Amino acid sequence: MLDSFPESQTFVTHLECGMEHDHYAADQLHGLSKAGKPLLVKYDLNALAQSVSKEDLATRPATLWRYREFLPVRKSENIVSLGEIHTPLIPVPRLQGGNGSVWIKDEGRLPTGSFKARGLCMAVSMAKELGVTKVAMPTNGNAGAALAAYGTRAGMKSFIFCPDDTPEINVREIAAQGAHVWRVNGLINDCGKIVAQGKEPVGWFDFSTLKEPYRIEGKKTMGLELADQMGWQVPDVIFYPTGGGTGLIGMWKAFNELKEIGWLKGKLPRMVAVQATGCAPMVKAYEAGKEHAELWENAHTVAAGIRVPVAVGDFLILRAVRESEGFATAVNDEQITAALDEASQKEGFLMCPEGAATYAAYKQELESGRVSPDESAVLFNCASGLKYELPPADQAININQPVDYSLFV
């Protein structure tokens, strides 16, 4: 599947600081820019468009690597894959608020059960291509699990640091997949400080969100894949659970690249950054008209994956939201829990808490009027609901007693 691609069929020209726009050489190891901001991968889109067509892509297997020309890995031998299939786009008519179609994009079908597989398979592949052998990352759970899996598959040593209230299944998953994992009595930004301070004494490469350029490119495939699945059309609105925001930034990058080469026509989706009221730095900055978000103190929410008090790519998230004419919104834990239950009971779809936040936000914004009942919407479910604690189900039958069949109504 991967060997069918010729070598050097990517079209990367350089890297560019997302803030200052100064250039950095491709095919060299980089972290943040000189300004301390994320680097973005730039392509020769004219040459790309002449090299591949939508019809060419349709003949390839339905995997993340279908979009090879839009991605940075030069040599097939450096691709680190665990089988990144296209994730289903599932209509949920019982959840829609009017005549506009609503779909859930179920990222829980990917390796390690979350959309973090997209970013980490790309970042690890590029790290392998650039000679990295030791990596470290802070995580709220799913990103660490993905790094553990892909890092081990690439033969790298991975060191991963989690807040001490990270879901138990995530911590055990990380350890089981070959990484070295520690719990930290703080939040993800505290874990990030440990990683940053360890770069010199330990010699690991910092894989923190947006502190290397290539997780964005992996997450970008959500936008490429969504457009592909919809016949090179896009929905009116996308609701995305936003912590570090790599996926929202990546999708907006994908849509703009597709528009530049003429594969997308007309208006691009409105991007909605969904946060929790207990940790909503992007919402606060958006509403205040600011370019950067302040550190959110005492962050808390049942949706651990979006509990990110500060994000290095804050200005890129806010830029994507504003350029798309979208917005940032927050929902509380009660809304998240109710949305999770409703999606399960009405559609048989078990969302993760972060994914359920998008449905809660969709309902909230239908009511507020910021989203029309006639608009089409895609909600991103970022991980399998099976990775999270589920409510008890403790009804039982004693076979030594008569069965009361009146119970089964």
In a domain, 357, yes or no: yes
Does 83 map to a domain? no
Residues above pLDDT 70, as percent of the chain: 98
The pLDDT, as a whole number, for residue 4 is: 52
Given a cut of 80, whether residue 8 has pLDDT beyond it is no
Q: The domain containing residue 303 runs over which residues?
A: 89-113+214-387
128 and 61 belong to one structural domain: no
pLDDT at 19: 96
Q: Is the pLDDT of residue 407 over 80?
A: yes
Task: Check pLDDT > 60 for residue 9.
Answer: yes
The C-alpha atoms of residue 344 and residue 110 are separated, in whole angstroms, by 20
Report d(CA 213, CA 203) in Å as an integer. Answer: 19
Residue 84: per-residue pLDDT: 97
Q: 235 with 382, same domain?
A: yes
What pLDDT, on a 0 to 100 scale, did the predictor assign at position 389? 87
Check whether residue 235 and residue 323 sit in a common domain.
Answer: yes
Residue 160 forms part of a structural domain: yes
The answer on 186 and 56 residing in a single domain is: no
pLDDT (0 to 100) of residue 178: 95
Same domain, 182 and 270: no
DSSP assigned state of 104: E
pLDDT band at 7 (very low <50, low <70, confident <90, very high): low
Query: Do 63 and 178 fall within a single domain?
Result: no
On whether residue 105 sits in a domain, the answer given is yes
In terms of DSSP bridges, do strands 327-331 and 270-276 run parallel, antiparallel, or are they unpaired? Answer: parallel
Kindly tell me if the per-residue pLDDT of 64 is higher than 90: yes
Confidence grade of residue 230 (pLDDT, cut at 50, 70, 90): very high
Q: Is a pLDDT exceeding 90 seen at residue 391?
A: no
> What H or E segment, with its residue span, contains residue 357?
helix 353-368
Number of domains in the chain: 3
User: Does residue 42 lie in a domain region?
Assistant: yes
Per residue in 155-211, pLDDT (tens digit) is 999 999 999 999 899 999 999 999 999 999 999 999 999 999 999 999 999 999 999
CA distance 244 to 337: 22
Tell me what pLDDT residue 10 has: 82
Instruction: Give Cα 244 to chain centroid, integer Å.
Output: 9
User: Does one domain contain both 246 and 319?
Assistant: yes
Read off the pLDDT of residues 77-100 as tens digits, 9 standing for 90 and up: 999 999 999 999 999 999 988 888
Give the amino acid at 372.
Answer: S
Residue 4 resides in a domain:
no
156 and 238 both lie in a single domain: no
The yes-or-no verdict on residue 26 having pLDDT over 60 is: yes
Contact 66, 45 (CB under 8 A): no
Query: Rounded mean pLDDT of 232-254?
Result: 97
Instruction: Give CA–CA dist 282/328, Å, rounded.
Output: 7
**Helix and strand totals (H; E) in the chain:** 12, 13
Quick one: 105 and 156 in the same domain? no
pLDDT of residue 100: 84
206, 234, 263 - which closes a domain: 206
168, 259: one domain: no
Instruction: Decide if 254 is inside a domain.
Output: yes
Residue finishing a domain among 206, 233, 253 = 206
DSSP summary character for residue 35: T
Task: Please state, in angstroms and rounded to a whole number, the distance separating the CA atoms of residues 70 and 125.
Answer: 15
291 and 200 within one domain:
no
Global pTM reads 0.94
Residue 2: predicted pLDDT: 55
**Does a structural domain hold residue 46?**
yes
- pLDDT value at residue 237: 98
pLDDT tens-digit profile of 259-270? 999 999 999 999
- Mark which of 53, 78, 103 sits at the end of a domain: 78
The CATH number that applies at residue 218 is 3.40.50.1100
Do the Cβ atoms of 323 and 252 come closer than 8 Å? yes
Do 50 and 97 fall into the same domain? no
**For position 87, what pLDDT does the model report?**
98
23 membership: H or E segment, kind and range: strand 23-24
| Whole-number Å distance between alpha carbons of 141 and 243 | 12
pLDDT in tens, 111-163: 999 999 999 999 999 999 999 999 999 999 999 999 999 999 999 999 999 99
